[in-house]
Structure formats: structure tokens, C-alpha cells
Chain A
């Protein structure tokens, strides 16, 4: 039973991170109907930014809490700048092109960013400083759930609540909802759609960057390739939950994380990806629109 609970928490932790990245995929898809394949790389760049900033700050002797907060902020800002720029460079010029063109452009962007970080940071794994301390009050539960799992769960929950409030109540959030439901009409009520699209990329990138910081500190090492596999997993989570649906991305992430965790725990860690992607295949066969997604009506 204890083993089960341990797996449950490790699954939730993974799932929370997948969900955080999946939100970026699903929001961008909701607004412009594009799978942003470079999103995993944005997450990776967030992890590297956090790595560099936290290393520098710890040399300078900053307290741990300050390091986490500043590294998180730096990662969010820097990744957002990348997300914003990628959209302007690679997607905006293709706004009226056939759907396949921006998709290929996205794959190109992903390869470009991976190789750029590879050249800058080599292919070696860099040891990531352990930013999240072992809390004393977590001591009695440490064999079930670690401090960093707990922090990840709390932080991701807060970010998701924040995102929900942003979308529901703010001006830009309302503009996002309107744009995703009817882009032409959004323009006709005076919404600057380009700005809404930029904002979507910025918010999605910031979420992914925070995910990058949390998971890098949890696992303890990063390299240029972490964005690829995390990106594919998060994309799976987004499709599982129904791409375009924000609660769907969270649900998909959690289900995927739990599946992987239990597969690792009860079968073998070699089969972790097999289970994850089998889940994707099954959902695509039986409910292609995803768990909470709406079937898209194609007008001819």
C-alpha cells in the first residue's frame, strides 16, 4: 500500500509537469490551430536559464529562497522572449499559408533551438543544483513523498489556478477566449489579434519555463535534448485531454504521469514510454478529439 502511494505521488509530480508544458501546446492550438513543436525547446531553454542564473547566484552567496525565485523569474522571462520571437519569426509570416507550412516551420524551429543549445552548452549532462531543500516538517513522510515532489505539486497547482483566473477575468484573458472561438469576429470587435497571439505564446512559454526549473531541480541534470522527450510527452498529454481544452491538458498530464509511474513501478522502467505512447494510440483510435475535447467540424 505504501508503495502504491509512493508511485501515486511520483506519478502526480510527473503529471503536474507534463500538464504545465501541455498547457502551452493546448493554448497555442486553441488560438491559432498550430501544434507548436518548438514548445519543448522553450521548456529546455527555461531549464538552462534557471541553471545559469542559479549557479551564478549561488556563487555570489544568495540565500536559497532568493535563488529559486530569481531563477524562476529569469527563466520565465527569458523563455517568454524566446516564445515570442519564435512566433514572430517562424509562424506569423505563415499566418495565411496552408496549415502544413507553419507545422513544418515549427519542426524546423525545434531542431534549430536544440542544435543551438547543443553548440552553446555541449551535449554533456550538466549537474543542476538542488534548489529545493528537504523540509523538516516533511520528515515523517519522506519515504512516500519528497519535499521537491510536494513543492512541484503546490507550485503547479498555483500556476494553474493563476492561469484560470487570468483567462476568466482579465481583459487579455477574455480576448484570448474570444479569439479562440472566432478569430475574425474578435478582430471585428476591436481585439488586436496579433497581440493576443503573442500573449498566448508568452504565457505558455513562462509556464513551460517554470516546469523546466522544477523538473531540472528534481532530477538534478539537464542537457540540450530534455525538451524533445518532455515536449513529446506533454503533447501526448494535450492530445489525451483534448487539444485546445485547458482542463483537458491538466487531466491528460495527470493521467499520463500516473500511467508512467505505475508502469515503471509494477512492470519495468524500460516500458515507461511504451505505456505512455500506447495510451496516445488508444485515445486516437477510440476518441480522437480527446477526453475533454470537442470534435472539430470541418466545413467544406
Chain B
């Protein structure tokens, strides 16, 4: 469904990605794990077109998208929940969700998806008319994910959804990710520092170090891998 071939990305003169190769198949949960600054977020930003690759190719459903504008990429069905959630602070919860459906005009479908995200996260329904900036961290993460779902994506990119959240909330978020994958067959590309949780729900995983993929394998094999355990699983 999505394929990165030898992708290089730069911030100014600093090379953040060095020849990334990876593949996401339809219906999968893929996770990309790695330390701070390894290039996890940059990989997602390259896919979304915010940091276009300087070299290499990004193919989505067989079509090259590495020169496509970010809004067109969203229109093609790839949605990202960026690190730090990026809620529109002065828009209400409802308006934030409306923004998620910005490119859609099927009122009925939008309403259906709205009901769906409220069923996933009932708290958002209660907070509907509050400003997004006033929500707690966990609620903002729920809102960010719901906003992305409102675009009805085929491929959902999640950047560190567990960051800065309490363990109980983290577990809830991961359960919902699994549920979204199961119920809608939404393909999920999950970037995480919380390798343990991520590998437990993922089908396959990649490990990124200094801008290059060093290991790729099935998730349960990565969990058992000694190097991965030592570096990312605390033991």
C-alpha cells in the first residue's frame, strides 16, 4: 500500500533520513521504533509531504507521491496525527473535528463518522463546545486521533500517541488503535518510543537508528530479539 524507496530527507543541510526503505501493507499495523532524533517523525513528515524527500521515492497504492502537496496527500487518504497532537487551540472540539473533515462534503457520512468517534471517545461529546486548548493531554490525544479519523483515512499515521500520558490512558489509546484497525480495516503506521506497547499491537516493526532502518521483522520476533530488548525494551 505504501512503500518508501531509498528516501533521503534533509532539514537545511542536516540529513535526517538516509536511504529509508520500508513497506506498509493494506490492513496492517506497522510500527517504527527508535530513539529520540533517530528520524521517526521525519519519516512521517516525508510521507505527508511536509518535509518532501530530497532523493528516493514514496509510492502510495502504486503511485509516486513524493512530489505531491500535503493537502493532496490527505485527499488521497493518508492522514497524520503529528507528535504533540497539534490541536487548534482556539477552535472548539466540534470545530476541530470539522476541520478533520475539511475535504469532505458528504454530510451524512461526516455525521456517521462523528457519531463513531464519539462512541470511541465519549468524553469528547461532553466537551464538544469547549476550546481544544483547554483539554487535558489525554483528551487532546483522543481529539487529535478523532480529527484524523474524520477524514476517513485509508492509512493513518500516528506519531507518538502515548507521549506524556498516564499509563492508564496509554493503554486505552493503544486499545482504540487496535480497534480502529480491526473495525474499519484502516492501515496504521505507528511511530513510538514506547516500543513494548507498540510491538504488542503491531503486525510488523522497523527499527530506525540515525536515519537508517537497521532491523525489520515481525513484531513478535522483534519482541524476542536480544538487541531490540537491550536497546528499546529496557532489558
Residues of A within 8 A of B (CB): 171, 174-175, 177-178, 181-182, 184-193
B165 lies within 8 A of chain A by Cβ: no
Contacts of A189 in B (CB 8 A): 74, 79, 99-100, 102-103, 147, 151
| Contact across chains for B99 and A178 when beta carbons are under 8 A apart | yes
> Contacts A189-B74, A189-B151, A191-B71 known; A181 to B90 CB distance under 8 Å?
yes
> Which partner residue on chain B sits nearest A194 by CB separation?
B69
Supply 20 A–B pairs (Cβ within 8 Å), ascending by A: A174-B95, A174-B98, A175-B102, A177-B91, A178-B88, A182-B89, A184-B82, A185-B86, A185-B87, A187-B49, A188-B74, A188-B79, A188-B80, A188-B86, A189-B79, A189-B102, A190-B71, A190-B102, A190-B103, A192-B71
- Shortest CB distance B202–A (Å): 23
Q: Mark B11-50, 1 if CB is under 8 A from A, else 0.
A: 0000000000000000000000000000000000000111
| Contact across chains for A188 and B69 when beta carbons are under 8 A apart | no
Residues of B within 8 A of A (CB): 48-50, 69-71, 74-75, 79-80, 82, 86-91, 95, 98-100, 102-103, 147, 151
Complex alpha-carbon distance, A186 and B86, angstroms: 9
| Contact across chains for A184 and B103 when beta carbons are under 8 A apart | no
Complex alpha-carbon distance, A172 and B16, angstroms: 35
> Which partner residue on chain A sits nearest B86 by CB separation?
A185
Pick the residue among A174, A175, A188, A191 that contacts B50 (CB under 8 A). Answer: A188
Contacts of B91 in A (CB 8 A): 177-178, 181
Count of A-B residue pairs with CB < 8 Å: 61
Task: Specify the main secondary structure of chain A where it touches its partner.
Answer: helix
> Contacts A177-B91, A178-B91 known; A191 to B102 CB distance under 8 Å?
yes
| Contact across chains for B79 and A181 when beta carbons are under 8 A apart | no
Complex alpha-carbon distance, A182 and B147, angstroms: 14
> Which partner residue on chain A sits nearest B133 by CB separation?
A181
Complex alpha-carbon distance, A162 and B34, angstroms: 51
| Contact across chains for A184 and B90 when beta carbons are under 8 A apart | no
- Shortest CB distance B135–A (Å): 15
Contacts of B71 in A (CB 8 A): 187, 190-193
- Shortest CB distance B92–A (Å): 11
Complex alpha-carbon distance, A185 and B147, angstroms: 11
- Shortest CB distance A122–B (Å): 45
Contacts of A181 in B (CB 8 A): 88-91
Complex alpha-carbon distance, A189 and B75, angstroms: 9
Complex alpha-carbon distance, A174 and B102, angstroms: 9
Complex alpha-carbon distance, A184 and B99, angstroms: 13
Q: A188-B48, A190-B70 are in contact. List 10 more A-B contacts (CB 8 A).
A: A174-B95, A175-B102, A181-B88, A181-B91, A185-B87, A188-B79, A189-B79, A190-B71, A191-B99, A192-B71
> Which partner residue on chain A sits nearest B101 by CB separation?
A189
| Contact across chains for A190 and B151 when beta carbons are under 8 A apart | yes
> Which partner residue on chain A sits nearest B98 by CB separation?
A174
- Shortest CB distance B80–A (Å): 5
> Contacts A177-B91, A178-B99 known; A190 to B86 CB distance under 8 Å?
no
- Counting chain B CB atoms within 10 Å of each CB, which of A175, A190, A193 scores highest? A190
- Shortest CB distance B27–A (Å): 23
- Counting chain A CB atoms within 10 Å of each CB, which of B79, B86, B87 scores highest? B86
- Shortest CB distance B201–A (Å): 23
Complex alpha-carbon distance, A178 and B82, angstroms: 15
Complex alpha-carbon distance, A108 and B102, angstroms: 37
| Contact across chains for A188 and B90 when beta carbons are under 8 A apart | no
Complex alpha-carbon distance, A182 and B82, angstroms: 12
Complex alpha-carbon distance, A212 and B122, angstroms: 52
Contacts of B80 in A (CB 8 A): 188
Pick the residue among B70, B86, B98, B103 that contacts A182 (CB under 8 A). Answer: B86
> Contacts A177-B91, A178-B88 known; A190 to B50 CB distance under 8 Å?
no
Closest 8 CB pairs of A and B: A190-B74, A185-B86, A187-B70, A190-B103, A192-B71, A181-B88, A190-B71, A189-B99
Complex alpha-carbon distance, A186 and B100, angstroms: 9
Contacts of A178 in B (CB 8 A): 88, 91, 99
- Counting chain B CB atoms within 10 Å of each CB, which of A175, A177, A185, A192 scores highest? A185
Complex alpha-carbon distance, A189 and B48, angstroms: 10
- Shortest CB distance A279–B (Å): 28
- Shortest CB distance A193–B (Å): 8
Contacts of B86 in A (CB 8 A): 182, 184-185, 188
| Contact across chains for B102 and A188 when beta carbons are under 8 A apart | no
